[in-house]
């Protein structure tokens, strides 16, 4: 039986970062991945495909130029599923190639197969050809991620009623789409398909959406979605979903309303992918959603030599945070020093328009009883915004009146997910409103919105700290 310093199960963001970190520290590392190619959900069915689809949709529709040429402007008149898939395949191939090369040059060994525990230090790898082998690791990092929640009552067929994995394989674009679940996945896909001029309806039993985002940003977002005729049925439940003989799908809502659509995307959460791991053999147990409990600083599970990182440990379930968790877990696992991560990480929602946020929302600041002031800039106030033809976009910053420090930055509009990092740096470096007032920003840029929002807050804050 081959013996390794660290065995990593899963090659998504957490697994690959963890594996490479341990290899850089001179350790003998094995990655076990059941998928045909390395990369995990992030590369094959999650982050990268959805963001590629978004970019392709925006390019082919000419979305970014519509501020100048009107809503009917299109770069390509008839956009097909094949148009979207073509670019997806090229992007994914590049991603996999880079990963395989990283594994090879760092001497990370990689075996394709499904891992399950035989004991706390031993895993069995089952391969496609029914062969299996045993491997042993001083430490084991579980980076198995999640899979879509697929309840029995949903008549999935991979064609007209699909989950977010199956959506990437559709052969034809529907003329209408109902999205069940107004979480991040549901909202991102709903707005991407709406940008393709597909009639989109979103249904969610909750009366609000994206609750972790500043309300003012969500209100602006909601206004923009309604303005382009997307239907948001919040506080409503799809009680019955039936496939009809004519190929369409009929939904009956709890208020009696009926909706007929060509396609349903069910995006109501994800489950930890722990069912195949035979956890009891290692002395571990997952919760009802398949997730593992870890020490949030070391990512150690209740079994000392077994670590878990990424989506399988729950919130925040992002590729970005998963990478960092995997790196920290691997360092602890092989006995290296691991610093605590910085307090504030950004959240990017790649909807159309995109949203990004870092730090406290206005609601959270109020809840904590911190006296505060907000500064707001609209992209249409910036020269760059004029050049780009932007008629929407908003940057909001919240400052403490006691310390003058930045508490949160919230952005909606073009480039939000890139722009947020300026705010993130100021937050983590404990900067104040003066940073934005006293520094010169490139001109014309969208980043100038920081200056405008900083001045907006500063004008109302005065120059003296509140008691």
Which parts of this chain interact with ligand FAD (CB under 6 A)? 9-15, 32-35, 40-42, 46-47, 50-51, 114-115, 143-146, 164, 185, 273, 276-277, 310-312, 317-320, 322, 348, 350
Cα(402)–Cα(398) distance, integer angstroms: 12
Q: What is the DSSP letter of 2?
A: E
Of ligand FAD, ligand NAD, none, which one sits near residue 180, judging by CB under 5 to 8 A according to partner kind? ligand NAD
Complex with ligand FAD: residue 48 or 251, whichever CB lies closer: 48
Residue 429: how many other CB atoms lie within 10 Å:
10
Strand blocks (E) in 224-346:
231-234, 238-243, 249-253, 258-261, 263-266, 270-272, 306-308
- Counting DSSP H helices and E strands in the chain, the numbers are 13, 22
Handedness of CA 96, 98, 99, 100 (dihedral sign): positive
Cα(52)–Cα(37) distance, integer angstroms: 18
Of ligand FAD, ligand NAD, none, which one sits near residue 183, judging by CB under 5 to 8 A according to partner kind? ligand NAD
Q: What is the token pair recorded at 197?
A: 């001029």
Complex with ligand NAD: residue 97 or 239, whichever CB lies closer: 239
Smallest distance from the beta carbon of 11 to ligand FAD, in angstroms? 6
Smallest distance from the beta carbon of 347 to ligand NAD, in angstroms? 6
Complex with ligand NAD: residue 316 or 462, whichever CB lies closer: 316
Complex with ligand FAD: residue 168 or 398, whichever CB lies closer: 168
Strand blocks (E) in 312-458:
347-349, 355-359, 372-378, 394-400, 406-412
Give the binding site for ligand NAD (CB under 6 A): 180-186, 188, 204-206, 267-270, 316-318, 348-350
Q: Rg of the chain's alpha carbons, rounded to an integer?
A: 24
Smallest distance from the beta carbon of 188 to ligand FAD, in angstroms? 6
Of ligand FAD, ligand NAD, none, which one sits near residue 10, judging by CB under 5 to 8 A according to partner kind? ligand FAD
Of ligand NAD, ligand FAD, none, which one sits near residue 384, judging by CB under 5 to 8 A according to partner kind? none
Complex with ligand FAD: residue 144 or 406, whichever CB lies closer: 144
Smallest distance from the beta carbon of 164 to ligand NAD, in angstroms? 7
Of ligand FAD, ligand NAD, none, which one sits near residue 306, judging by CB under 5 to 8 A according to partner kind? none
State which H helix or E strand residue 68 sits in.
helix 66-69
Cα(449)–Cα(457) distance, integer angstroms: 12
Complex with ligand FAD: residue 259 or 323, whichever CB lies closer: 323
Of ligand NAD, ligand FAD, none, which one sits near residue 204, judging by CB under 5 to 8 A according to partner kind? ligand NAD
Smallest distance from the beta carbon of 413 to ligand FAD, in angstroms? 17
Q: What is the token pair recorded at 456?
A: 């907006």
Cα(40)–Cα(457) distance, integer angstroms: 43
């Amino acid at each position: 039986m081959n013996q390794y310093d660290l065995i990593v199960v899963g090659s998504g963001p957490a697994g690959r970062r963890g594996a490479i970190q341990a290899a850089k520290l001179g350790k003998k590392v094995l990655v076990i991945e059941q998928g045909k190619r390395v990369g995990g959900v992030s590369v094959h069915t999650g982050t990268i495909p959805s963001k590629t689809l978004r970019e392709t949709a925006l390019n082919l529709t000419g979305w970014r130029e519509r501020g100048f040429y009107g809503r009917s402007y299109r770069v390509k008149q008839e956009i097909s599923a094949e148009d979207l898939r073509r670019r997806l395949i090229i992007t994914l191939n590049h991603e996999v190639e880079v990963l395989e090369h990283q594994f090879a040059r760092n001497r990370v060994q990689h075996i394709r197969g499904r891992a399950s525990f035989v004991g706390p230090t031993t895993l069995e790898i089952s391969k496609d050809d029914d062969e299996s082998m045993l491997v042993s690791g001083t430490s084991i990092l579980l980076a198995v991620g999640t899979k879509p929640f697929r309840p029995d009552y949903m008549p999935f067929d991979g064609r007209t009623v699909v989950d977010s994995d199956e959506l990437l394989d559709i052969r034809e674009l529907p003329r209408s789409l109902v999205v069940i679940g107004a979480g991040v996945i549901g909202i991102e896909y709903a707005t991407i398909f709406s940008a393709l001029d597909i009639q989109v309806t979103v249904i969610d039993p909750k009366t609000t959406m994206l609750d972790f985002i500043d309300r003012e940003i969500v209100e602006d977002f909601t206004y923009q979605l309604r303005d382009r005729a997307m239907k948001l049925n919040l506080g409503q439940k799809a009680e019955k979903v039936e496939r009809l003989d004519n190929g369409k799908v009929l939904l009956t809502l709890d208020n009696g309303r009926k909706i007929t659509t060509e396609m349903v995307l069910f995006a109501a959460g994800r489950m930890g992918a722990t069912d195949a791991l035979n956890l009891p053999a290692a002395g571990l147990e997952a919760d009802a959603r398949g997730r593992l409990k870890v020490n949030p600083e070391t990512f150690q599970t209740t079994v000392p030599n077994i670590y878990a990182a990424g989506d399988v440990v729950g919130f925040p379930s992002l590729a970005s945070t998963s990478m960092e968790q995997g790196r920290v877990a691997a360092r602890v696992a092989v006995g290296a020093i691991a610093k605590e991560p910085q307090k504030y990480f950004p959240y990017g929602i790649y909807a159309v328009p995109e949203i990004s946020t870092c730090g406290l929302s206005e609601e959270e600041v109020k809840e904590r009883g911190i006296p505060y002031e907000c500064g707001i800039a609209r992209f249409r106030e910036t020269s760059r915004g004029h050049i780009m033809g932007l008629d929407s976009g908003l940057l909001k910053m919240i400052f403490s009146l006691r310390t003058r420090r930045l508490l949160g930055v919230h952005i909606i509009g073009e480039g939000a997910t890139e722009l947020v990092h300026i705010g993130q740096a100021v937050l983590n470096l404990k900067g104040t409103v003066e940073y934005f007032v006293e520094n010169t920003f490139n001109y014309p840029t969208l980043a100038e919105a920081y200056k405008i929002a900083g001045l907006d807050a500063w004008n109302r804050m005065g120059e003296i700290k509140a008691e």
